[in-house]
Every structure is written in C-alpha cells, then in structure tokens.
C-alpha cells in the first residue's frame, strides 16, 4: 500500500505532472488493489478510526473498490516485558484518508460494516451555515506532499504537534533534491536537526521530513498556494 511507483501521473486538480504516482491502495488481507483516479466529484475525506482498527478498516474500504491512504509513521514504544524500546509503525493520528464522494463518505461513517469503527474528523477551524464544524476534507495540494513523505517509510519522518513546534521562521521553503524533493513547508528544529514540516490544514499535528541540508532548500515566493 505504501510502495512508490516510478511512473508520473497527471492530476486534474493541479497544474503540471506530479513527479510520482500515488501509491496503489492495497488490502493487506486479500491483496485487492485500487488505483488513484482523480475525479471532480471526489474529495479527500479524513476519517477518525477507533484505536487498533485502522488497517482493518482500510482493508474493508479498499475491498469495496474505494481508494484510501493509511499514512504510517515510526514511533518508539517500550516493551512491557523487557522494558526495552522498540520502533514500530503506527497510523498517523489514527486517521484514514479516503478519496470519495460526499455520498460515499456518509455511507462509510453511518451505514456500512466499518461504521462502528469510523467517524468524520471535523474541521474545527471552520463553521458552516448552521454553526457546525463540517467534516474535514484535504486538497490534493496538501495530500500529495504528505503521501510522498510517508510513502517513503523513512524512520526519520516524525509526527509533530504544530502548536509546540519550534519553527526557525515563518518563511516557506521547497526541498530541491533528495527523496523529499518538491515538498514545501517551514523549517523547524526537531530532534536537534533542521527539518521541513509538512502541514495538512485542519490538523493539529504535522509531519517532519528527515534532516535536510540547507543547500537543498530554496525560499518559496510570497503568494504560493
């Protein structure tokens, strides 16, 4: 599910050709796979998944023919028996990103086999005409660098709390070389290193790249979207 494909794809929601193809969504249980296909009717809906159920829910939705992305990051956990730290992969914020129509999203959270494990992640920074927070949807512009960074399964990619992140400045930078080439974010001091932080708008947590040498960074002009 997280393997990168070397082919390029044309994204109908962005300008130009993306330098990599989004990973194929593949069920770990049955091997069923679904390819990403841009559509004007679909959005990236963010689903909150009950703890420990993210992979099972992802498998079930993929087997239903829907493209989803389950981002995973490495974390250090202490073994209860030995007391030693072990590095394991965990779903980012226990979230699942589903590329679906509004009707399909509603089905998965309210009327399907996975409904008891999945719910909307709401956008707490926006209110609709009724005064409620709507379900969070993510633009392709935010999802593509997020997927690119997590699909590498680099052990140095970390989840960070944006409210406590020590940003070097407010300037945006772009990575110009290496496995994170093309990613745009802000430089922060994390684990005693300067890294680029990737932010999905609407989420409190973000992701850092591995250490990026300063000569692999360029400033992004004002007005960048």
Q: What is the CATH number of the domain that holds 108?
A: 3.30.70
Are residue 107 and residue 178 in the same domain, yes or no?
no
Confidence category of residue 13, pLDDT binned at 50, 70, 90 = very low
Are residue 73 and residue 183 in the same domain, yes or no?
no
pLDDT of 29 over the 70 cut: yes
The tens digit of pLDDT for each residue in 56-98 reads: 999 999 999 999 999 999 988 888 888 888 888 999 999 999 9
Burial class (CB in 10 A: 0-12, 13-18, 19+), 117: buried
Residue 185: predicted pLDDT = 93
pLDDT of 225 over the 90 cut: no
Q: Which domain holds residue 203?
A: 157-225
Are residue 81 and residue 185 in the same domain, yes or no?
no
Confidence category of residue 155, pLDDT binned at 50, 70, 90 = very high
Q: Residue 152 — left, alpha, or beta (φ > 0 → left; ψ -120 to 50 → alpha)? A: alpha
Residue 195: predicted pLDDT = 96
The tens digit of pLDDT for each residue in 184-224 reads: 999 999 989 999 999 998 999 999 999 999 999 999 987 66
Number of domains in the chain: 2
Are residue 222 and residue 123 in the same domain, yes or no?
no
The tens digit of pLDDT for each residue in 105-137 reads: 999 999 999 999 999 999 988 888 888 899 999
Which residue among 153, 174, 191 closes a domain?
153
Q: Do residues 221 and 200 make contact, with C-beta atoms less than 8 angstroms apart? A: no
Are residue 130 and residue 20 in the same domain, yes or no?
yes
Within a 13 Å sphere around the CA of 93, how many CA atoms are in the beta-carbon half? 19
Structure tokens at 187: 């430089």
Which residue among 119, 153, 187 closes a domain?
153
pLDDT of 138 over the 90 cut: yes
Are residue 173 and residue 148 in the same domain, yes or no?
no
d(CA 224, CA 91): 29
The CATH number that applies at residue 216 is 2.30.30
Q: State in Å, rounded, how far the first CA of the chain is from the last one.
A: 28
Structure tokens at 107: 């089905």
Q: Per the confidence metrics, is the pTM higher than 0.75?
A: yes
Q: Do residues 216 and 174 make contact, with C-beta atoms less than 8 angstroms apart? A: no
Q: What is the DSSP letter of 15?
A: S
pLDDT of 1 over the 50 cut: no
d(CA 42, CA 68): 12
């Amino acid at each position: 599910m997280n393997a990168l494909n070397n082919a390029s794809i044309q994204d109908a929601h962005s300008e130009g050709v993306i330098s990599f193809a989004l990973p194929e969504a593949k069920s770990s249980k049955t091997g069923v796979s679904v390819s990403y296909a841009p559509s004007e009717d679909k959005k990236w809906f963010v689903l909150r998944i009950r703890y420990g159920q993210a992979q099972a829910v992802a498998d079930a939705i993929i087997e239903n023919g829907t493209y989803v992305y389950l981002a995973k990051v490495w974390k250090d956990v202490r073994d209860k028996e030995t007391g030693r730290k072990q590095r394991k992969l965990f779903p980012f914020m226990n979230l699942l990103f589903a590329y679906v129509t509004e009707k399909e999203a509603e089905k998965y959270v309210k009327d399907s086999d996975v409904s008891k494990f999945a719910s909307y992640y709401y956008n707490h920074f926006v209110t609709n005409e009724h005064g409620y927070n709507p379900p969070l949807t993510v633009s392709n512009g935010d999802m593509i660098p997020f997927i690119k960074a997590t699909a590498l399964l680099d052990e140095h990619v970390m989840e960070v709390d944006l409210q406590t992140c020590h940003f070097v400045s407010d300037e945006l930078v772009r990575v110009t070389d290496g496995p994170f080439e093309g990613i745009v974010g802000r430089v922060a001091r994390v684990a005693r290193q300067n890294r680029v932080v990737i932010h999905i708008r609407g989420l409190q947590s973000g992701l850092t790249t591995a250490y990026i040498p300063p000569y692999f960074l360029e400033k992004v002009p004002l007005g960048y979207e």
